[in-house]
Structure 1
């Protein structure tokens, strides 16, 4: 069904019935007050690259969460003569993606990154009008105030942060002749995804209740999410929660956990703990009955999100959660995808064998000991084992035994009571073992644990009982144990630095992660790492590696393993050009020092032929190398780094050969 309205210049514009005609009319009136002329050339003042970069940095959180959603939305509407636009709260376009042919047309009206589409610049348009009205908006064809924009139909949805503030707009724009009424619905769903991501980022140290009237909608965009402090004070609620509770965010701020769900935080946790099902039943203040999941979210440590916090002891609700098992209720927040065994299986036979073994012992209370060089991904594997185990809904608590001072490691592991020692925090502290209750305790670098403490750890592992320092209480714990080390524990046992009884308690299953130089899946690993880096290069070409650089990567021994590779790729990603290809000039100089050897590597044209000629004349091999290096230095104007790259050797090799030549020179040579 269609209806007609008057456009700015008196022409009738046809639009689907139900669209907010009044909002369009009000927008046209505002456009007139801005002094805009419908037939005038629009304001095409576009930010410089420097200015745009600054705006993107100022909105980095929004961009990080919006860009993956935009990519997904683009896949749904590809080849429809359309584009997707993300703006900030002022209507400035931060990023745009879409069909190439339509992007060219949009360029003519400055519908691109760096342009501002607020109403005072462009008159009535979906982006500016959605910001002005604070609600989703479709502006179709001749409804645009400016004639120049009337070949467009735009569907815009404001993006709200968890505090209820507008932080931007997601817009889908296309040719007005090919508009589909479902476009706005897709944009709304996409914005809901972005807002839920922002919600999760904003509220880490919180008690969260996810709920819906139907259990099958939990975990979907339809679920309501409400965040509370540990004592039940209201923090925020997503759009779905506001709808189900029947109140806007401003009204919800006057409520608490008790007034909304008829339970105190302690009662809620007790009910979740007693439940043997994934969901519990709650009653809303309006009488509705819903199914719910209860989560205590902790801030992520390092790259992976997990339940672990040194300050947990000062939060009584947090202590109740981590000190006792809560089946299916307290969910450890893990870095999705990165910390699953399937993600780690990238084609290397040694890694595949490790994954097969750990899957067979999953959930069978068999301790796992992961060995391997530093940087081979031992903690990532441990996290993946946890996330694929029956304990995935419990906490994953990591302790690096080498990074905690020997005088503190006992209190860090087992906790302490108030006044247990000088400097102890008021109310004491919950140790890492208790924090891991119901989940997995990962003891990294177990070979560096102080010898006197090993006997106490052994007792805890055998009896599953913990005595905090300064306490007479004994607390039962239920934990899975994963350990890791780069050391040879048997050698440490021989040196009386590691207890043999603890060793045999920990090595239920021993697996070894191969170093990067031994793996056969380097190219796949690099591809996956670049995919993650590409996600931060919003609006640019995906990252790739030039063939000659990939050849260098396969030659490198990678002494730092994944840490070294990750840092190198991250640096290169920051250096690449718009085409996204990583080339030799984008690599840090110290990488070339790790490539290989002590001698000059072939091929190095035209050096081989010069070397052959010298050898034929009976020259010594070291003289051949010196001559090749001297020639290369002359070609590169004395730039040692450039010479090292051209010959495929380290700078140290060049300096060493140069010093050898100087040392061996006779007075006549000098």
Structure 2
């Protein structure tokens, strides 16, 4: 999706503006920022400040920004999935510029730490001079600061793209940033950051107004339910409460001016007429006319009084809360109705014998209150399978609550899981929080990446599962809870138990039925999977094909990111094709084509060389490098890769950088497999 479909960020008093066309901050903006930096008393040769404000300050900042973090963390994961192995990192900051959370490639995180680009550090203009985070927060505008545009000399090896995040009341609440090596700069990065910031804002809109009426509208009906739709929120009496940036742009009024309006003054009909228009059992989008004469297509949603229940369209049954498939969280093309199609075991059974066996076992234990543990590599669809287990269970009408144990900071995961009472800690919200476990009462609790749960919380979780009672932080009583438990991990839990990193008693409480999802490269139903994903990415019944040449390359590729990588790749290709015609080589990203050129046993034909960006050749394998030991017939491709990594690490005496260079992979690839490698090689 092009950046031109996004509006320029609006502050609480700014008027609508057309989309920004440039990806880098203009010279005037940079010059003004440099002038401010000088006025702050900063000099270009100022050394990075490594003085940490202390863990308690970061913990307090995370508590104060809990609402922002809850909605930003899953979007950050999806954004990082799209830039992984590009020597980059994703950062979330507060409105004051303090880094709250970061995800990134291991090699680049090390470089970032040299300039204090780490959680807890202040990256406002007042302390770091011109930089994307601080300048975006100051200008309230998405921008890129590239290389020498940074004010401090120490930061000029960076390229940073940041977008401010606005809360549902039009105030800046934080910033989202992608920072990388300036030599690896990509023009599309700022568009991805804009898209992700908009997604965070829309998620906050869906959660913050418990009894409000939400109007979702756009001049084109096919954009309803996508990232770029406009949202306006009104009280049940029709009083204007809020609108997202796209909504402000289409209505043609800034946030401050909208506060004086009502639904009637903006849409030209009383609020009672809106209820009548959308009172049918399956209300279709309706066309309304804004006060400025612009005709828009509308859908209406209203939240129930229960603040934990999900939004539902007027006149429609409540949908179970569900996340998108692995790697598809950020997809702006899929309507919510298609998510329910994904959430059944029958839909997931696409003919692969290994998957069919998994689904058969799951059907045998459905409704029997047997905990399920899902194993598999990152991106194989463990979260999607968990949703399907819930969707086919007797609990399907009750909540499905997902907790990613790896994405929540250790300082917050206890309160996120178990909840807390008002005043339990500094920054605790009024009336407290019931926690994820109690949110799942009557339904299913999905503990994703359970292997990353801190050791000190494993005992508390075990007690909850044994006694079916939970005690929120600061509470003097326990509350009964009834949940079905599904967990997932890509780690070897038994090895973690042997090292003392995971409680054995908790493991045996969680592994009532253990199933393993095969990696994408191991599946026999690849073509059908591709077709199903393409079907979800095209709207209004549009058909899109895929050329035999591309499909052949796909089948020979090893897909280290599994379905998440495949989905992101197809989503980009669909945008390039426009849901008309067939995906050809020219529709695939350059970095993917480069990897194909160097990584497949048969190089891609020379006639496609024009589609591949120039890149330095990968280093040759040392002539003394041993070949991987032969794998027994029926052995997995993953075993071959692990054997090659182990032998190369032994050859280079545990030097990860040298081994990765010799294998033609990134260091991060080896680090991701370290738990599966023999202990003597690292």
**TM-score (norm: length of structure 2):** 0.50
- Gaps spanning 5+ residues in structure 1: where? 1-15, 308-317, 356-370, 389-444, 446-483, 485-512, 514-524, 535-540, 596-670
Q: Give the structure with higher Rg (CA).
A: 1
- Find the counterpart in structure 2 of residue 332 from structure 1: 318
Q: Measure the CA separation in 1 of the matches of 2:247 and 2:293.
A: 15
**TM-score (norm: length of structure 1):** 0.51
The structure whose RCO (Cα within 8 Å, separation 6+) is larger is: 2
- Find the counterpart in structure 2 of residue 352 from structure 1: 363
- Contact 1:568–1:587 at 8 Å: present in 2 too? no
Q: Secondary structure at the match of 2:123?
A: coil
- Find the counterpart in structure 1 of residue 112 from structure 2: 106
Q: Measure the CA separation in 2 of the matches of 1:585 and 1:242.
A: 50
1:33 equivalent in alignment to 2:45: no
1:21 equivalent in alignment to 2:27: yes
Q: Measure the CA separation in 2 of the matches of 1:141 and 1:202.
A: 38
Q: Measure the CA separation in 2 of the matches of 1:178 and 1:585.
A: 37
Q: Measure the CA separation in 2 of the matches of 1:587 and 1:301.
A: 35
1:145 equivalent in alignment to 2:151: yes
- Contact 1:297–1:331 at 8 Å: present in 2 too? no
Q: Deviations over 1:631-654 (max 9, x none)?
A: xxxxxxxxxxxxxxxxxxxxxxxx
Give the direction of change, closer, same or farther, for the CA distance of 1:151–1:18 in structure 2 (3 Å limit): closer
Question: In structure 2, which of residues 434, 439, 447 is the aligned counterpart of residue 530 of structure 1?
Answer: 447
Q: What pairs with 1:507-656 in structure 2 (closer than 5 Å)?
A: 529-531=446-448, 542-543=452-453, 560=468
Q: Measure the CA separation in 1 of the matches of 2:278 and 2:272.
A: 10
Question: In structure 2, which of residues 152, 164, 169 is the aligned counterpart of residue 163 of structure 1?
Answer: 169
Q: Secondary structure at the match of 2:231?
A: strand
- Contact 2:166–2:201 at 8 Å: present in 1 too? yes
- Contact 1:543–1:581 at 8 Å: present in 2 too? no
Q: Deviations over 1:524-579 (max 9, x none)?
A: x9xx8321x76xxxxxx84499xxx99x99xx996859988969999xx9xxx9x9
Q: Measure the CA separation in 2 of the matches of 1:197 and 1:93.
A: 21
- Find the counterpart in structure 2 of residue 52 from structure 1: 58
Q: Secondary structure at the match of 2:180?
A: strand
- Contact 2:161–2:190 at 8 Å: present in 1 too? yes
Q: Secondary structure at the match of 2:163?
A: strand
Q: Measure the CA separation in 2 of the matches of 1:568 and 1:116.
A: 39
Q: Measure the CA separation in 1 of the matches of 2:505 and 2:452.
A: 24
- Find the counterpart in structure 1 of residue 396 from structure 2: 384
- Contact 2:369–2:484 at 8 Å: present in 1 too? no
Question: In structure 2, which of residues 250, 257, 266 is the aligned counterpart of residue 251 of structure 1?
Answer: 257
Q: Measure the CA separation in 2 of the matches of 1:53 and 1:251.
A: 37
Q: Secondary structure at the match of 1:168?
A: strand
- Find the counterpart in structure 2 of residue 430 from structure 1: none
- Gaps spanning 5+ residues in structure 2: where? 1-21, 325-338, 346-354, 373-388, 401-440, 471-479, 512-682
Give the direction of change, closer, same or farther, for the CA distance of 1:206–1:185 in structure 2 (3 Å limit): same
Q: What pairs with 1:451-466 in structure 2 (closer than 5 Å)?
A: none
Measure how far apart 1:20 and its partner are.
Answer: 2.2
- Contact 2:23–2:190 at 8 Å: present in 1 too? no
**Number of positions where the alignment pairs a residue of Structure 1 with one of Structure 2:** 392
1:172 equivalent in alignment to 2:178: yes
Question: In structure 2, which of residues 219, 234, 242 is the aligned counterpart of residue 213 of structure 1?
Answer: 219
Q: Measure the CA separation in 2 of the matches of 1:147 and 1:222.
A: 38
Q: Measure the CA separation in 2 of the matches of 1:286 and 1:94.
A: 41
Measure how far apart 1:156 and its partner are.
Answer: 0.8
Q: Secondary structure at the match of 1:273?
A: coil
1:223 equivalent in alignment to 2:229: yes
Question: In structure 2, which of residues 258, 269, 272 is the aligned counterpart of residue 266 of structure 1?
Answer: 272
- Find the counterpart in structure 2 of residue 305 from structure 1: 310
RMSD between aligned alpha carbons? 4.7
Measure how far apart 1:260 and its partner are.
Answer: 1.1
Q: Secondary structure at the match of 1:258?
A: helix
- Contact 1:543–1:580 at 8 Å: present in 2 too? no
